[in-house]
């Protein structure tokens, strides 16, 4: 376990860390026990006795081990790290953790899928949660975001409906962790504010290559407030330095079987290997007086602010450098809340955000069993907590004063509220007036323009993937009427899109409805993302007697930051014709092409029956998934047997070109489906 951080939060957590290795076994009362394998019985073959306090305690605790999983975002994985701000953001916010250049703040980040239950697979087509807890000196600040910048609905009162629709259908609890079913698409067609987000959901963003290679978005418009009380509208972004990358759908489906933990394993191993994921924090800022200058309402969470119009200013970086010690204590018990803010950060009237401000504490109360969840080590703020809240299940604090009310004279009115000057949080005094109405603003009613913007911004390959995703998902809907309604709805986005889908799902093409909107936002296309070789995984398929030069090539790959791992027909080591020895990381039985970014062939076919069967299969899969394929010397014979030596992204005996191919990651101009 890497222990890079000796920050205030880690020092606090150290008080709770328990090392059991080497210790005597005790009961929960600290009593050492002489026996832990046999319950106490009346005679060796007799009944177990009620007197057996050790058995009762052990079994009772086990019987109560489970807590309810999160109602959404149940499957998650988290890590510790630190955030460092580049420059003082005092002109915009008085938040202390953003005010001093170079200031570091401990963080805890939990990534998640939304729809699946806790044991579901990582590669579901889904939105990913990206929740960050900053343990600041002014208290916890939670940025509870997703990997997509918009959301399905505009008002949180519809959230239970939306989640009911996307979760497994209630009569038979099928399908798990999938949106490819009737109720989800029925909801979409009958709630057309979903249009923009559904475009993201059908895009490659919904099947990330890694948590380390996806963006994060605060989604809502928040407010920054400076010392002078001036406020600015803000959207938060996380930008991964490795760029934004995805897998292809066929790969995602296969990964769900080959390694359902693909994303959590990837993050865990990267941190263990010292390949710390880094994300830059970006801010988009709009001055208050510019609130109405856009062709969308900035309070509408189904709209993004195109980066070309409102540039993203990079203001700091977050490095994840420490895995958790205990999944349950940390990852499962962490409680995020968009309402956990610090002075200098405030809310907007986005109706989705407003309702979230209620939901998170409410859900923690049932999930974590009462109102004291803030005392759990992972949730404890660095500053001490002082107020008049008392008691409740599992209370940890021993408040020593007999005064637990405000105002008082017996404790000189303490704990006392403090002024803003002394760090007291005070809400931004926005002027609000209006009638009490259940209504939605007219300015929220355009559901299609930004869905078109998204479509316009995609490369041809990305468009094809979106067509394929719609065709897959609608193809899984049993009700033809649902398919028809969805097609009808998306004809408002693109005739090209619905025509292609219609053909795939056997429906006639709806009439043209889309408005003419030609704007695009290049920042939305993954085609324009950063491409690096760092931490890319290459499977080196080799057997004994591998050709001279392989170990040198592996060194070159390592120098380029690539993790090359030998896959062979047996475990242990293999010996080359040049007498070098390489450790075998996986066998052809345990590894599979979908677990790697590229494949390098270093031995000829026919080495062993396993090799002859699996190695060509490995290559065919890599080919189908547009991945780089390399070969050195005898390894090229496998490519010749398969007649693929001439395909793009296939490199023979050229390490530098192979490294460049790994950087490029995918070669879309191959035959076969996208």
CA 87/CA 280 separation, integer angstroms: 13
CB of 143 to ligand HDE, least distance (A): 9
Q: Are 53 and 27 in contact (CB under 8 A)?
A: yes
Which of these ranges, 31-39, 139-147, 194-202, 453-461, lies near ligand HDE under the rule CB under 6 A? 139-147
Q: Are 224 and 93 in contact (CB under 8 A)?
A: yes
Residue at token pair 């604090």: 397
Using rule CB under 6 A, residue 303 touches ligand HDE: no
Q: Which of 55, 86, 268, 360 binds ligand HDE (CB under 6 A)?
A: 360
CB of 51 to ligand HDE, least distance (A): 42
Q: Cis peptide before 407, with omega less than 30 degrees from 0?
A: yes
Using rule CB under 6 A, residue 194 touches ligand HDE: no
Using rule CB under 6 A, residue 302 touches ligand HDE: no
Pick the closer one to ligand HDE by CB: 148 or 271: 148
Which of these ranges, 48-56, 66-74, 182-190, 466-474, lies near ligand HDE under the rule CB under 6 A? 66-74
For residue 500, give the DSSP letter.
Answer: H
CA 296/CA 457 separation, integer angstroms: 18
Interface map 375-414 toward ligand HDE (x if CB under 6 A): ----------------------------------------
Annotated binding residue 118: no
Which of these ranges, 267-275, 359-367, 455-463, 647-655, lies near ligand HDE under the rule CB under 6 A? 359-367
Residue at token pair 């909801």: 187
Would residue 649 be called left, alpha or beta, if left means φ above 0 and alpha means ψ between -120 and 50 degrees?
left
Annotated binding residue 75: no
Q: Cis peptide before 415, with omega less than 30 degrees from 0?
A: yes
Interface map 80-119 toward ligand HDE (x if CB under 6 A): ------------------------------x-x-------
Q: Which of 81, 106, 116, 129 binds ligand HDE (CB under 6 A)?
A: 129
Annotated binding residue 110: yes
Using rule CB under 6 A, residue 343 touches ligand HDE: no
Annotated binding residue 70: yes
Using rule CB under 6 A, residue 134 touches ligand HDE: no
Binders of ligand HDE among residues 311 to 340 (CB under 6 A) are 334, 336
C-alpha distances in Å from residue 29, one per residue of 24, 173, 392 = 13, 42, 22
CA 27/CA 31 separation, integer angstroms: 5
Using rule CB under 6 A, residue 76 touches ligand HDE: yes
Pick the closer one to ligand HDE by CB: 53 or 328: 328
Q: Which of 10, 40, 58, 71 binds ligand HDE (CB under 6 A)?
A: 71
CA 153/CA 316 separation, integer angstroms: 30
Q: Which of 176, 359, 389, 399 binds ligand HDE (CB under 6 A)?
A: 359
Residue 81 pairs with which residues in a beta bridge?
107, 320
Pick the closer one to ligand HDE by CB: 121 or 338: 338
Q: Which of 219, 286, 458, 501 binds ligand HDE (CB under 6 A)?
A: 219
Residue of 73, 196, 263, 465 marked active site? 73
CB of 282 to ligand HDE, least distance (A): 15
Which of these ranges, 10-18, 65-73, 411-419, 558-566, lies near ligand HDE under the rule CB under 6 A? 65-73
What the block records as the tokens of 489 is 């709805």
C-alpha distances in Å from residue 146, one per residue of 87, 89, 130, 132, 409 = 25, 24, 5, 10, 47
Q: Where are the alpha helices (DSSP H) in 202-344?
A: 249-258, 262-272
Using rule CB under 6 A, residue 497 touches ligand HDE: no
Q: Which of 267, 352, 557, 651 binds ligand HDE (CB under 6 A)?
A: 352
First to last CA, the chain: 39
What the block records as the tokens of 163 is 């989640």
Q: Are 648 and 666 in contact (CB under 8 A)?
A: no
Q: Are 123 and 255 in contact (CB under 8 A)?
A: yes
Pick the closer one to ligand HDE by CB: 300 or 514: 300
CA 408/CA 416 separation, integer angstroms: 10
For residue 353, give the DSSP letter.
Answer: H
Which of these ranges, 141-149, 281-289, 593-601, 626-634, lies near ligand HDE under the rule CB under 6 A? 141-149
Is residue 564 helix, strand or coil?
strand
Residue of 5, 99, 140, 146 marked active site? 146
CA 133/CA 151 separation, integer angstroms: 21
146 catalytic, yes or no? yes
Pick the closer one to ligand HDE by CB: 222 or 249: 222
Is residue 607 helix, strand or coil?
coil
Annotated binding residue 159: yes
| Binding residue count for ligand HDE, defined by CB under 6 A | 24
Residues 6+ apart with CB under 8 A from 587: 567, 568, 569, 570, 571, 610
Indicate which residues carry an active-site annotation: 73, 146
Q: Which segments are annotated as binding site for heme?
A: 70, 110, 159, 356, 360, 367
Interface residues with ligand HDE (CB under 6 A) are 70-73, 76, 110, 112, 129, 131, 144-146, 151, 156, 159, 219, 334, 336, 352, 355-356, 359-360, 363
């Amino acid at each position: 376990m890497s222990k890079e951080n000796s920050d205030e939060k880690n020092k606090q957590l150290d008080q709770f860390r328990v090392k059991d290795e080497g210790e005597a076994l005790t009961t929960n009362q600290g009593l050492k026990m002489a026996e832990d394998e046999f319950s106490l019985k009346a005679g060796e073959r007799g009944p177990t006795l009620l007197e057996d306090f050790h058995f009762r305690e052990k079994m009772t605790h086990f019987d109560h081990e489970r807590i309810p999983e999160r109602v959404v975002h149940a499957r998650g994985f988290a890590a510790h790290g630190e955030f460092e701000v580049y420059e003082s953001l005092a002109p915009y916010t008085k938040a202390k953790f953003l005010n001093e250049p170079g200031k570091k703040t401990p963080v805890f980040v939990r990534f998640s899928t939304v729809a699946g239950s806790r044991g579901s697979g990582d590669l579901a087509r889904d939105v990913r949660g990206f929740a960050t807890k900053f343990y600041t000196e002014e208290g916890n600040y939670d940025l509870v975001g997703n990997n997509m910048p918009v959301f399905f609905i505009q008002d949180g009162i519809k959230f239970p409906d939306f989640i009911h629709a996307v979760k497994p259908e209630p009569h038979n609890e099928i399908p798990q962790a999938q949106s490819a079913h009737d109720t989800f698409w029925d909801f979409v067609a009958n709630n057309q504010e979903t249009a923009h987000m559904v475009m993201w959901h059908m895009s490659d963003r919904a099947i990330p290559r890694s948590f380390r290679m996806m963006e994060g978005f605060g989604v809502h418009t928040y407010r920054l407030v400076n010392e002078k009380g001036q406020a600015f509208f803000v959207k938060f972004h996380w930008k991964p330095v490795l760029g934004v990358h995805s897998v292809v759908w066929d790969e995602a489906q296969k990964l769900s079987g080959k390694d359902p933990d693909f994303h959590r394993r990837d993050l865990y191993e990267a941190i263990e290997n010292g390949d710390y994921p880094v994300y830059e924090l970006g801010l988009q800022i709009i001055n208050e007086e510019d609130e109405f200058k856009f062709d969308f309402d900035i309070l509408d969470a189904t709209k993004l602010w195109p980066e070309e119009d409102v540039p993203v200013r990079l203001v700091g970086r977050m490095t994840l450098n420490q895995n958790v010690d205990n999944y349950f204590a940390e990852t499962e018990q962490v409680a995020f809340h968009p309402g956990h803010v610090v002075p200098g950060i405030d809310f907007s009237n986005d109706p989705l955000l407003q309702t979230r401000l209620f939901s998170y504490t409410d859900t923690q109360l049932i999930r974590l069993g009462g109102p004291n969840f803030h005392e759990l080590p992972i949730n404890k703020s660095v500053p001490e907590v002082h107020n008049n809240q008392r008691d409740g299940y599992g209370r940890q604090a021993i408040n020593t004063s007999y005064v637990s009310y405000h105002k008082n004279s017996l404790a000189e009115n303490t704990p006392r509220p403090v002024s803003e000057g002394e760090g007291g949080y005070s809400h931004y005094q926005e002027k609000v007036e209006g009638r009490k109405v259940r209504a939605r603003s007219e300015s929220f009613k355009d559901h299609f323009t930004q869905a078109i913007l998204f479509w316009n911004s995609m490369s041809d390959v990305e468009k094809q993937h979106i067509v394929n995703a719609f065709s897959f998902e609608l193809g899984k809907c049993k009700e033809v009427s649902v398919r028809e309604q969805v097609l009808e709805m998306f004809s408002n986005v693109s005739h090209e899109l619905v025509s292609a889908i219609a053909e795939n799902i056997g429906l006639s093409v709806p009439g043209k409805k889309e408005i003419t909107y030609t704007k695009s936002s290049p920042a939305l296309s993954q085609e324009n993302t950063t491409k690096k070789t760092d931490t890319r995984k290459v499977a080196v398929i080799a057997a004994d007697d591998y050709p001279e030069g392989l170990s040198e090539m592996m060194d070159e790959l390592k120098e380029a930051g690539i993790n090359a791992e030998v896959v062979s027909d047996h475990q242990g080591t293999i010996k080359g014709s040049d007498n070098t020895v390489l450790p075998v990381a996986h066998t052809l039985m345990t590894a599979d092409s979908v677990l790697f970014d590229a494949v390098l062939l270093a031995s000829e076919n026919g080495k062993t029956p396993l090799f002859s069967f699996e190695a060509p299969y490995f290559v065919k899969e890599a080919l189908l998934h547009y991945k780089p394929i390399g070969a050195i010397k005898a390894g090229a014979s496998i490519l010749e047997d398969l007649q693929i030596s001439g395909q793009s992204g296939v490199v023979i005996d050229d390490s530098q070109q192979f490294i460049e191919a790994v950087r490029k990651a995918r070669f879309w101009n191959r035959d076969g489906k996208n």
